[in-house]
Structure 1
Amino acid sequence: MSATVADQVTVVSVTYKSARLAERMAATLSPFKHVVLVENGSLDRCPERMRELLPHATIIERRHNGGFGKASNEGAAVATTPFVLLLNPDCHVDEKAVATLVEALHRCPSAGIVAPQSWTGAGEPQMSYRHAFFEHMPRSSYRVPDAICSAKWLHGCCLLIRADAFREIGGFDERFFLYYEDDDLCLRMRLAGFECLLEPAAHAVHAGGGSSGTSMRVAFIKAYHYARSRHLAIRKYQGYPAALRYRVKTLLGAFTAVPLYALLLQRNYVIRWLGWGSAAFVCFWREPRPAP
């Protein structure tokens, strides 16, 4: 990486039970001059391993898991460079791709975020941009764009963000513990007058699910926070009546789906609907309200 690009970018990566990814993370992050790792309260050996493998990194150890947005805000607050690269522990991006993203933000001063096109380890393209979550568009297969384009959502696994713009909008809304925090960030960027861009000339490889397990407990927690965050996003961008309809629909669906899938011995669907239904029930009594 050129000295010029290296001086402009701080990589912020939030880790949670990511010790098994330490070697791969270190290989990805070693070319970068400024690295901040935020350990989100998982109490594994990831911080110790990263200190050994990446001694120049700044490591913030949180006692409790405050969610991706909160941890990312804390990591970005340490950065003193013009750009912050938010990078998932299970995502790989090389120096050339980052240089391409930096160039895109220099070329488009109205942009606050730019993302690369992400690919699976098997070489399949991942959906890296789309319309807003509340916009009903005709279903179609995902196509990698031919050139840089504007979007209302960018995949959060790898985002190069203009630090001043990030601070101007207040960073992530920390009410989103997991899921929809990238939707909200992009929408607030656009409301503040900043474009969100996808640069297909830059590539990232995203394995997915690298910081979580496959137990029933993990599946339930993910389903719970997905439904809770979706409710919050609907409440924030579509209003209270739409959020209420979503709660009622989800809760009634859970009452029907859980016993049905239990009879069919479909454990994964049982856990999913239990998580969704639990979130809907809790939101009736303790509704997560969006930031003013």
Structure 2
Amino acid sequence: MTETLPLPTAPTSPPRNDRLWVVLVNFNGLDDTRKCLRSLADVPDAVSVVVVDNASKENAVPILQREFPWADFVRSEVNGGWAGGNNLGVQHALARGAEWAILLNNDTVVPPRFVRRLTEAAEAFPNYGVLGPVILFMDEPTKVQTTGVVFNRPDRDGFFQPIDVPHDAEGRVGVVECDIVNGCCLMIRRDVVEKIGLVDEAFFLIHEESDWCLRAQAVTKCGIVADAIVWHKGSSSFQREGKKLQRYYDARNLVRLLRKHRNRPTARRFLKGFRHYLGYAFHRYAHERGRGFRDSADAVLEGVYDGLTGRYGPRQDRWRPGLGLLRMAAGLVWRVKK
């Protein structure tokens, strides 16, 4: 049976459980965060919630505290990106006894069975310390947006190859192993965090959950729960901030990800992977140029430059010696190929 998208209802108050926490990060997305919290309020199973306001232009904490007094709130005066914001939330949860933390994008809604299905999977498959569900599109509530992926396999195209996860809301809970659980909804066990550390904040945005999952595989398994229990609006931060930043962080952080995990036994050899990366980056650049988005195309090249020179954290306007030559070379190749 297919479950339709739940409509937001007036917030009640879920029973609190300090062994299980949901972490939301809000960055200039007050309306989205409200909808997500309303859906969590209808979850009958005990769970605690912390909202991190990631240096939004307007401090959302006082507003949300009045509307959702059952949640905890943390205000950061610095935008730490997905990585830094979620680290604050995870630290808050661990300090209060969390055994599991569920990192949930604020531009999502969940059905009442959300907590029950994740905890059932955790209990049934204790060798999985990182779990996530099947994710559906919010505007197409029966269509799969993403499941999980395997990373950088030499026998497959691309770097992030999706896996098929047949899902059934009425069936027995199952888990399919993967390399990476999507950061839209990622549940991680306390002991895994204690062994591998928090999210690498050098990524800031994009591919940071990939690094976390790949690091986690040194001590546990990652898997996708065979049930669709999250509807995701999708990339709302980038819709507000523009495609340019998405292209920049994608190109830059993929360099860091490949470097950090170049010795994975299942991955392409490093030089072959690097050649594949250059082809990927040029494809992104050509796609943006072909659509007339010069700023986004230039952002790909900035990302390549900063990735190769090891400049991470939040993007900064800076002088990049040699970037002009890279831009000229990419433009020449693009004109020849088009």
- Following TM superposition, by how much is the alpha carbon of 1:6 offset from its aligned partner in structure 2, in angstroms? 3.9
2-side partners of 1:50 and 1:248: how far apart? 44
Does 2:237 correspond to 1:211? yes
Change (3 A) 1:250 1:279: farther
Unmatched segments (≥5 aa) in structure 1: none
Does 2:157 correspond to 1:132? no
- Following TM superposition, by how much is the alpha carbon of 1:243 offset from its aligned partner in structure 2, in angstroms? 7.5
Q: Residues 99-248 of structure 1 correspond to what in structure 2 (within 5 A)?
A: 99-121=116-138, 122=140, 123-137=142-156, 143-145=164-166, 147-192=174-219, 194-214=220-240, 218-238=242-262, 241=271, 245=275
- Following TM superposition, by how much is the alpha carbon of 1:230 offset from its aligned partner in structure 2, in angstroms? 0.6
1-side partners of 2:212 and 2:129: how far apart? 10
Does 2:39 correspond to 1:28? yes
2:330 aligned residue: none
2-side partners of 1:288 and 1:246: how far apart? 21
User: SS state of the match for residue 191, structure 2?
Assistant: helix
Deviates most, 17-26 or 221-230: 17-26
The residue type paired with residue 26 of structure 1 is L
Give the counterpart of 2:89 among 70, 75, 80. 75
Change (3 A) 1:167 1:93: farther
User: SS state of the match for residue 151, structure 2?
Assistant: coil
Q: Is the 1:67–1:178 contact (alpha carbons within 8 Å) kept by the matching residues of 2?
A: yes
2-side partners of 1:59 and 1:70: how far apart? 15
- The count of aligned residue pairs is 279
- Following TM superposition, by how much is the alpha carbon of 1:229 offset from its aligned partner in structure 2, in angstroms? 0.8
Deviates most, 128-137 or 70-79: 128-137
- Following TM superposition, by how much is the alpha carbon of 1:129 offset from its aligned partner in structure 2, in angstroms? 0.9
1:14 aligned residue: 25
> What's the % identity of the aligned pairs?
23
Q: Which has the larger radius of gyration?
A: 2
Change (3 A) 1:284 1:7: closer
Q: Is the 2:104–2:184 contact (alpha carbons within 8 Å) kept by the matching residues of 1?
A: yes
2-side partners of 1:14 and 1:250: how far apart? 30
Moved over 6 A (4+): 139-142, 250-254
TM-score, with length taken from structure 1 = 0.83
The residue type paired with residue 124 of structure 1 is K
TM-score, with length taken from structure 2 = 0.72
Deviates most, 13-22 or 234-243: 234-243
Q: Is the 1:15–1:211 contact (alpha carbons within 8 Å) kept by the matching residues of 2?
A: no
- Following TM superposition, by how much is the alpha carbon of 1:205 offset from its aligned partner in structure 2, in angstroms? 0.9
User: SS state of the match for residue 168, structure 1?
Assistant: helix
1-side partners of 2:296 and 2:73: how far apart? 34
Q: Is the 2:148–2:162 contact (alpha carbons within 8 Å) kept by the matching residues of 1?
A: no
- Following TM superposition, by how much is the alpha carbon of 1:152 offset from its aligned partner in structure 2, in angstroms? 0.6
Unmatched segments (≥5 aa) in structure 2: 1-12, 168-173, 264-269, 314-338
Q: What's the C-alpha RMSD, in Å, of the aligned pairs?
A: 3.1
| 1:67-120 per-position Cα deviation (integer Å, ceiling 9, x unaligned) | 211221111111122111110001122341221111111122211111111111
Deviates most, 136-145 or 72-81: 136-145
The residue type paired with residue 75 of structure 1 is G
Q: Is the 1:133–1:183 contact (alpha carbons within 8 Å) kept by the matching residues of 2?
A: no
User: SS state of the match for residue 239, structure 2?
Assistant: coil
1:55 aligned residue: 69
| 1:153-194 per-position Cα deviation (integer Å, ceiling 9, x unaligned) | 1111111211221222102122211111121111111122x1
Does 2:295 correspond to 1:278? no
The residue type paired with residue 103 of structure 1 is E
The residue type paired with residue 160 of structure 1 is M
| 1:230-260 per-position Cα deviation (integer Å, ceiling 9, x unaligned) | 1111111227756765776678778x849x9
1-side partners of 2:213 and 2:101: how far apart? 15
1-side partners of 2:54 and 2:65: how far apart? 16
2-side partners of 1:64 and 1:241: how far apart? 37
